């Protein structure tokens, strides 16, 4: 797990200046790899790397050079992440080509595989990754990002070349060197207010974009960047008769055992996050089989209903692992949120990332790698909202004109009126109403706070391509498919990567494995969602793995009492952020203060919308105004073992 930075530039660019620029930009992402750092340059390219040593610690230094016998050092690779089947890949290369390896890590196997098998080999890599391979003979760059988008990769283009980085803030540093000037992207801002994150491939800066999940790319000698999707996640549920439940459940258990076993491969200590839900509990229980001394970590708040500490502790005792708890206070949120936003690169208005940052900070005192349960809900049908097609089934039988009238009626009901949102959503088609778990601002609400509202900029332009692909699927499976390309990679995985790497901690997600997806993609609808529960097949498969008290318990995750705090402890803090923000040209601050006051009186719950605006205002103060300058700590992790 590391931070990479690559600049492909015309030969006439001053090489020393380019290397100096890359070296300076590397410092912005030192937290991603505090163990080693360095730059390397060749004609037309400069590479920089920050290493967090996990596998083959004494070797596998990067940038790593490799070449066949007749062309040693032809290739240079930068690699962030893990390829968990690297041992099998190395064995294949030894057997087929009689290769001898100089290191014991993944990077050398990856670049050798690229040489012998070609670009298509990336579809065989089982892991989380973003990498760049420079071919000095062809003067071309090849790279890719993992199938689900677990690891980030940003890029920007200008007259001076094409630059790639694990952190967007590094590209902001490099923008002058390649001749572009990033500005705030107003379309991305409107998307953010709707979805609570900036959807791929956008970022909040107009000239910086993201390589999408499951995509490879090439930069040719003339500087042209071309991309190609190599992974097309396709759900094709079988019928119950085609996939007998006993075999399905045993297949799920087997593939999860295999995935966790491979995710445990490391030359450092591996721990596990543990909430009160089935996903993280299953991962921890399976990990314990490979590490008897496993340590688990959880976090919570001193407020009733907003902590899973007791359930997680009970699970840890049942599994038989050492358990560490971190309690977070409202004051700590006020103190640390600006720093957390700096680490994020782009605003993400998911309050759950705050406790995740604190527990990652705590875990790094004990371990260098943690496992977590992200991805289970998207693959196995775990979100409560996936049951919405069942609850709205009656609306499908209502004639179109009457259904539209019901939607019009919903607009006339006051905010907070019981049944208002049910009528509104029931009047909409699936494509119109569903774009993920987060529903922050509706158009009428955005118009209240956004100075310039652009009609047509909303979730449908993001989700429409994914709905077209899934046109003949059942509604639940279509929702899962949309989430893979929106909610999962825009929110869940961004916060997981950013807040753990902020603490130089590697997070691994065994559910998001191509082999696991192959099984999950075939699960019959009846084995995913029922009237009583979600993730039916997964729960059945894990019956002998997780403790009974967790098996059918609804997950809270790491809930944050923002609704209460904004009425109490956080009110003055939030009001100060709003008043001091230099976003007057973008946002109506008087309207936002009115929302905060409405929320404080308890008449309406504006907490998620206010939180989204506060996070954006902090981001704007850091990255646009330069008014807020968080004190960035040096990576330092005394081990408590």
Q: Which one from 1, 2, 339, 476 is the annotated catalytic residue?
A: 2
Last-in-domain residue among 484, 502, 532: 484
Residues 559, 561: Cα–Cα separation, whole Å:
7
C-alpha distances out from residue 232 to 146, 287, 509, Å: 12, 29, 19
- Do residues 506 and 614 both lie within one domain? no
Q: pLDDT digit string (tens) for 24-80? A: 999 999 999 999 998 999 988 999 999 999 998 989 899 999 999 999 999 999 999
Q: pLDDT digit string (tens) for 338-381? A: 999 999 999 999 999 999 999 999 999 999 999 999 999 999 99
- Do residues 159 and 283 both lie within one domain? no
- Do residues 163 and 211 both lie within one domain? yes
pLDDT, residue 77, reads 97
For residue 182, the SS3 value is coil
Q: Is the pLDDT of residue 15 over 80?
A: no
Does residue 221 lie in a domain region?
A: yes
- Give the up-direction half-sphere exposure of residue 574: CA atoms within 13 A in the CB hemisphere: 29
Q: What pTM, to 2 d.p., does this model score?
A: 0.95
Tell how far CA 377 is from the center of its chain.
14
User: Which residues are 400's β-sheet partners?
Assistant: none
- Find the domain containing 474 and state its range: 388-484
Does residue 520 lie in a domain region?
A: yes
- Do residues 360 and 505 both lie within one domain? yes
Last-in-domain residue among 229, 258, 275: 229
- Do residues 225 and 255 both lie within one domain? no
User: Which 3-state string (H, E, C) describes 537-566?
Assistant: HHHHHCCCCCCHHHHCCCCCCCCCCHHHHC
Percent of the chain with pLDDT over 70: 97
Does residue 469 lie in a domain region?
A: yes
Q: β-pairing, 2-8 with 161-165? A: antiparallel
- Do residues 541 and 575 both lie within one domain? no
Interval 235-255 mean pLDDT: 94
Q: pLDDT digit string (tens) for 272-294? A: 999 888 999 999 999 999 999 99
Does residue 641 lie in a domain region?
A: no
- Do residues 543 and 566 both lie within one domain? no
pLDDT category at 171 given cuts 50, 70, 90 is very high
Does residue 556 lie in a domain region?
A: no
Q: Are 106 and 114 in contact (CB under 8 A)?
A: no
- Do residues 451 and 536 both lie within one domain? no
- Do residues 266 and 303 both lie within one domain? yes
Q: What CATH number should be reported for the domain holding residue 174?
A: 3.60.20.10
For residue 641, what are its two tokens? Answer: 């073992």
- Do residues 584 and 604 both lie within one domain? yes
Q: How many structural domains are present in the chain?
A: 4
Q: pLDDT digit string (tens) for 408-465? A: 888 878 877 788 888 888 888 999 999 988 889 999 999 999 999 999 899 999 999 9
2 is an active site residue: yes
* C-alpha closest to that of 613 among 600, 628, 597, 595: 595
């Amino acid at each position: 797990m590391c931070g990479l930075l690559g600049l492909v530039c015309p030969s006439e660019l001053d090489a020393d200046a380019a290397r100096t620029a890359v070296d300076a930009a590397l410092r912005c992402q030192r937290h991603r790899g505090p163990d080693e750092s360095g730059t390397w340059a060749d004609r037309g390219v400069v590479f920089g790397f920050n290493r967090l040593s996990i596998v083959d610690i004494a070797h596998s230094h990067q940038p790593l050079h490799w070449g066949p016998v007749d062309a040693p050092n032809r290739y240079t690779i930068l690699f962030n992440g893990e390829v968990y089947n690297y041992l099998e890949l190395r064995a294949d290369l030894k057997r087929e080509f009689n290769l001898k390896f100089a290191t014991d890590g993944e990077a050398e196997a990856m670049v050798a595989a690229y040489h012998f098998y070609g670009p298509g080999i990336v579809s065989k890599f089982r892991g989380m990754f973003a990498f760049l391979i420079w071919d000095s003979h062809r003067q071309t760059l090849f790279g890719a990002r993992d199938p689900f988008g677990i690891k980030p990769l940003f890029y920007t283009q200008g007259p001076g070349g094409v630059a790639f980085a694990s952190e967007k803030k590094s590209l902001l540093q490099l923008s002058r060197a390649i001749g572009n000037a990033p500005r705030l992207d107003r379309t991305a801002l409107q998307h953010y207010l709707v979805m609570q994150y900036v959807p791929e491939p956008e970022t909040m800066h107009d000239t910086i974009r993201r390589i999408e999940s499951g995509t490879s790319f090439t930069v040719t000698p003339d500087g042209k960047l071309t991309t190609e999707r190599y992974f097309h996640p396709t759900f094709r549920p079988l019928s119950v008769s085609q996939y007998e439940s006993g075999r399905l459940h045993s297949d799920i258990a087997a593939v999860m055992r295999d995935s966790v076993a491979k995710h445990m491969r490391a030359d450092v200590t591996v721990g596990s996050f543990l909430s009160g839900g089935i996903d993280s509990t299953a991962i921890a229980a399976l990990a314990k089989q490979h590490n008897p001394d496993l340590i688990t970590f959880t976090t919570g708040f001193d407020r009733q209903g907003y902590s899973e500490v007791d359930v997680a502790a009970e699970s840890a005792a049942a599994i038989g692992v050492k358990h560490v708890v971190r309690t977070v206070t409202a004051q700590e949120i006020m103190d640390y949120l600006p720093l957390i936003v700096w680490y994020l690169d782009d605003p993400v208005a998911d309050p759950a990332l705050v406790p995740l940052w604190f527990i990652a900070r705590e875990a790094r005192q004990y371990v260098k790698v943690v496992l977590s349960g992200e991805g289970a809900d998207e693959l196995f049908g775990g979100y409560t909202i996936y049951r919405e097609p069942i609850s709205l089934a009656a609306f499908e039988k209502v004639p179109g004109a009457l259904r539209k009238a019901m939607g019009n009626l919903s607009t006339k009901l006051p905010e907070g009126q019981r049944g208002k949102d049910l009528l509104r959503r029931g009047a909409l088609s699936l494509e119109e109403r569903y774009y993920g778990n987060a529903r922050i601002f509706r158009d009428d609400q955005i118009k209240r706070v956004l100075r310039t509202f652009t009609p047509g900029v909303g979730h449908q332009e993001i989700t429409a391509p994914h709905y077209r692909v899934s046109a003949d699927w059942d509604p639940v499976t279509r929702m899962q498919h949309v989430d893979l390309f929106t909610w999962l990679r825009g929110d869940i995985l961004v916060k997981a990567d950013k807040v753990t790497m902020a603490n130089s901690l590697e997070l691994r997600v065994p559910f998001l494995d191509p082999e696991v997806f192959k099984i999950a993609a075939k699960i019959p609808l009846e084995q995913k969602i029922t009237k009583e529960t979600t993730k039916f097949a997964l729960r059945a498969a894990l019956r002998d793995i997780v403790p009974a008290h967790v098996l059918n318990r609804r997950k809270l995750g790491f809930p944050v009492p923002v609704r209460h705090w904004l009425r109490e402890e956080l009110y003055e803090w939030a009001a100060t952020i709003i008043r001091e923000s230099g976003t007057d040209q973008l946002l109506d601050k008087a309207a936002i203060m009115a929302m905060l006051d409405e929320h404080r009186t308890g008449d309406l719950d504006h907490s998620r919308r206010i939180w989204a605006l506060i996070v954006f205002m902090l981001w704007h103060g850091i990255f646009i105004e330069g008014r807020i300058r968080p004190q960035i700590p040096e990576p330092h992790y005394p081990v408590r073992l």
